[in-house]
Structure 1
Amino acid sequence: MRYRHSLHGHGFEFDGLVEVLARATPLRSGDVLAGCAARSDTERMAARMVLADLPLSVFLEEQVVPAESDDVTRLILDTHDKEAFAPVSGLTVGAFREWLLDAAARRDTALLTAVAPGLTPEMVAAVSKIMRNQDLIAVAAATEVVTGFRTTMGLRGRLSTRLQPNHPTDDPAAVAASILDGLLLGSGDALIGINPASDNPGTVADLLRLLDDVRLCYEIPTQSCVLTHVTTTIDLIEAGLPVDLPFQSIGGTQGANEGFGVTLAMLAEADEAARSLGRGTVGDEVMYFETGQGSALSADAHLGTGGRPVDQQTLEARAYGVARAFRPFLVNTVVGFIGPEYLYDGKQIVRAGLEDHFCGKLLGVPMGVDVCYTNHAEADSDDMDTLLTLLGVAGCTYVMAVPGADDVMLGYQSTSFHDALYARQVLGKRPAPEFEEWLATVGLLDADGSVRDIDPAATVLKELAR
């Protein structure tokens, strides 16, 4: 179907929903690379006007990626909840934006939670494209997605962290030192998660044992993960290793997932295997997924209906549709990790981070963000401070906590233990309740709830280790 709009005396025509969505997207380098970005600001605004007038029901009738060739599309359609969709089924995208902002203004969390199963990723991607940054923040802040394993994620007023103690040679002593460093600064309530330099099952097994030993030694209410391929994790579960959360990178098309070497059936198998272990104490959500705008394009798996390129933000939202189907404990977008080919500078990274967080939460996904950039991007730590602060205001579930904010194994810039403390302090946020209680019990919190100075805290952990 062709969509037309006239603006400032110029007529614009868009060849189908795929092109409308792409042309309406805020400028980013990945869409320019794919050849689907708007060719002018005027065309972008015309596409947004077309998009705002489209009924939400169109997204159930016109597929962005054909169902006959894509299992992600089939999953999205098969899991769509018509009853949950009913309250907004008669709205256009523009009217849906007003509906969301009204719910956010009234802090009607229950309403936003109830509608989530009735929304498709394409719907939430569409409405995000006609929203300002403050709109994305306001709606996300009013939305609550709560999950649990050994700690409870997503509660209002909380900001959690994934303690990320990576090392370029997977050296156990160096990994353990980074873990203790993070614990001393109140990090690790969402996850202690290692990106291994090697996918060798023996190395992964050693790291899993190390993580579990540290957790048991200090009686820490948290969960661990070694971010190896999901098939390796399944094998390790069968071998009796202490696996808490299986991990997998996922994308928004069948082809993108094939590029990661994964199928939906594999994800289901990992989910079932981890749940069968019963290692959670406050909940049974077990899957941990990572995503990122540009992953489908980088795998040359970004083409949609009619062979037209789908914009990277819509495909990213579709990845959350995959995640949602497996009731994950944690999901995060590694927003600036792929590089400037996909998000060129700080402005594009900030916008993408807010979009991803909004879309994920609106779909009912427990959404975190790796606030990060590569060293060859036109971005710096000031941009990351801005995004971290905005995400804290928006109610982000968790962020990364990397020693010194510099990941020496993956070679990119993220957020540090101290960055997380800053965000908690200025925004009045606290760690997950179970972890906060542990910090207080072992003497790592001052009377005002802040993390103690490093010297007395270190003494506490040394005494516990003995």
Structure 2
Amino acid sequence: MKLKTNLFGRTFQFHDLKAVMAKANEEKSGDQLAGIAAEDAKERMAAKLVLSELTLGDIRDHPLIAPEEDEVSRVIEEAVNERIFAEIRNWSVGELREYLLRQDTGQEQLRRLSRGMTSEMIAAVTKVMSNLDLIQAASKAEIITSCNSTMGQRGVLAGRAQPNHPADSIQGVKASLFEALSYGIGDAVIGVNPVIDTADSVKNLLEATKEAMIKWQIPTQNCVLAHVKTQMRAIRGGAPADLMFQSLAGTEKGNSAFGISVGLLDEAHELIHKEGTGAGPNLWYFETGQGSELSGEAHHGIDQVTLEARCYGLARKYQPFMLNTVVGFIGPEYLYDSRQVIRAGLEDHFMGKLHGLPMGVDVCYTNHMRADQNDMDNLAVLLTAAGVNFIIGVAMADDCMLNYQSTSYHDIATLRETLGRRPAPEFERWLVRMGLMENGRLTPLAGDPSLFMI
């Protein structure tokens, strides 16, 4: 495995694959904080050149975390289709990039290719792609999933209604939900982040959202984004949960910091299929985000893009209905400014799609980052062009419970109208019945939540 190159009149020698992967990353404050980033643009370009010439076999033969030491590595390794991998093991990372961008490489080729790759291979090719490359390649992937409804069809942009409330007030949650519905948002999921992580509180929120779904015959799914153990207790107590939720990290140690393991996820997987209220077959909702492993001191010296890819390698074991990266939520320690957030959003979306996952993005930032709402508008447009399955909607783009900035319900409606996207098919038919949409466009009734306050 060649880890040296001459560039700009200098010789660049990298210690191991882990160093090449880290230094080939686009600039990320998280990698700098971890002490693994490239020293300058010249070293970054040298690392990209070295990485582009490594083969997929080189990457698999030199695991960043050995499978015997990490259960996420084992999940990723065990999922590889050996016949497909044998066909591509001698491809260089650069050749993989060229294949992904070829005009005659379509979604079926991507779907098959995905089964023969590890997450580290997907992370590697991401590092040698431009933003436009990431958009072009991801736009080829159509990942359709089904719970009570379906989403992911080409031309569909779904939205998660996130009607959070700082005191878990059922009345407050419903008020925000009704605004979302009035703008045609909620086809991905009605997903509430609870303040109170108890089984009783989770059950109350699930019952309230399910009650609204039944009353108005809304073709969607509900979820409360509590810890998976709390959801399991609530479901065993009779709570009507369509989807099971959990945040994921890319290492076993990182997941331990979240209080989860593969064994626990397996148990929750069995429970939601036996006692959940979703029709399925896809019954999971996962969230990720670059930097979580570093914040938990569980990164093993690996860069945050590669760790994010490993989250997706774990997620695909459970065939989720939806998955999103909360791209700018953690803060400037990991993604410093709008340029880094936009790059990370495009990277994460591409890597999720190449894993065969129904990828969404929470287009968001915290108030202490060097970013603003215009930057989020830009990222939302880029992701819509890239074929993102869904994005998050919160009232006025300002989450009053989690205290961060995202995209609003009417932002998603505007993206659909401007870029020719539609809601999920069943949900659009419901919107037409409710008088909120006609011929793919919102009617004058849209944006008036009083429609549901009877």
Aligned-residue CA RMSD in angstroms? 1.4
**Could you say which residue in structure 2 is the equivalent of 1:400?**
392
Gaps of 5+ in 2: none
- The corresponding residue for 2:37 is 37
User: AA paired with 2:323?
Assistant: V
Aligned twin of 2:73 = 73
Q: Which amino acid in 2 is paired with 1:35?
A: G
| Contact 1:442–1:460 under 8 Å retained in 2 | no
Find the counterpart in structure 1 of residue 98 from structure 2.
98
Match of 1:219 among 213, 217, 220: 217
Deviations along 1:60-93, whole A, 9 cap, x unmatched? 2101112222111111111111123344232100
Mapping for residues 20-169 of structure 1, pairs under 5 Å: 20-102=20-102, 105-106=103-104, 108-169=106-167
Does the 8 Å contact 1:112/1:362 carry over to 2? yes
Matches within 5 A, 1:228-243: 228-243=226-241
Displacement of 1:223 in angstroms is 0.3
Matched, 1:280 2:271: no
- The one-letter amino acid of 1:346's match is S
CA distance 1:455–1:77, shift in 2 (3 Å): closer
Question: What's the offset of the Cα at 1:2?
Answer: 6.9
Residues 278-302 of structure 1 show CA distances to partners (whole Å, capped at 9, x for unaligned) of: 6334x41101100000000000000
State the partner residue of 1:192. 190
Return the TM-score normalized by structure 1: 0.95
Matching residue within 199, 205, 208 for 2:206: 208
CA offsets 1:33-84 (integer angstroms, 9 cap, x no match): 0000000111101101100000111122101112222111111111111123
Query: What SS does the corresponding residue of 1:210 show, helix, strand or coil?
Result: helix
Distance in 2 (alpha carbons) for counterparts of 1:414 and 1:247: 20
Counterpart contact for 1:121–1:321, Cα < 8 Å: yes
Q: Name the counterpart of 2:242.
A: 244
1:459 to 1:254, Cα distance in 2 relative to 1, 3 A: closer
SS of structure 1 residue aligned to 2:442: coil
Q: Which residue of 2 aligns with 1:453?
A: 444
Does the aligned pair in 1 maintain the 2:243–2:276 contact within 8 Å? Answer: no
Q: 1:172 to 1:35 in 2, by over 3 A?
A: same
* Corresponding residue of 1:306: none
- Residue 2 of structure 1 contacts residue 14 of structure 1 at CA under 8 Å; is this kept in 2? no
In 1, the alpha carbon distance for the partners of 2:354 and 2:45 equals: 24
1:164–1:459: structure 2 CA closer, same or farther, 3 Å change rule?
closer
Name the aligned partner's letter for residue 453 of structure 1. P
Q: Which runs of 5+ in 1 are unaligned?
A: 304-308
Does residue 349 (structure 1) correspond to residue 338 (structure 2)? The answer is no
Identity of counterpart residues, as a percentage? 48
SS at match of 2:378: helix
Contact in 2 for aligned 1:278/1:284 (Cα 8 Å): no
Partner in structure 1 of residue 169 of structure 2: 171
Contact 2:328 2:364 (8 Å CA) reproduced: yes
Q: Which residue of 1 aligns with 2:293?
A: 296
State the SS of the aligned residue for 2:165: coil
Q: Kindly indicate whether the alpha-carbon contact (under 8 Å) linking 2:182 and 2:446 is maintained by their aligned counterparts in 1.
A: no
Tell me how far 1:274 sits from its aligned partner.
0.8
Give distance in 1, aligned partners of 2:158 and 2:232. Answer: 27
1:169-190 alpha-carbon deviations (Å, 9 max, x no partner): 0111010100001000000000
Residue 33 and residue 157 in structure 1: after superposition, are their counterparts in 2 closer, same or farther (change >3 A)? same
On the 8 A contact 2:179/2:448 being kept in 1, the answer is: no
* Distance change (3 Å), C-alpha of 1:219 and 1:55: same
Amino acid at match of 1:358: F
Q: 1:421 aligned to 2:413?
A: yes
Residue 340 (structure 1) aligns with: 332
State whether residues 444 and 457 of structure 1, in contact with CA within 8 Å, keep that contact through their aligned partners in structure 2: no
Letter in 1 for 2:197: D
Which of the residues 366, 369, 378 maps onto 1:374?
366
- Asked if structure 2 preserves the Cα contact closer than 8 Å seen for 1:2 and 1:16, the reply is no
1:71·1:253 contact (CA, 8 Å) conserved in 2? yes
How many residue pairs get aligned? The number is 454
1:440 equivalent in alignment to 2:437 = no
Q: Deviations over 1:134-174 (max 9, x none)?
A: 10000000011111101112110000010000011011101
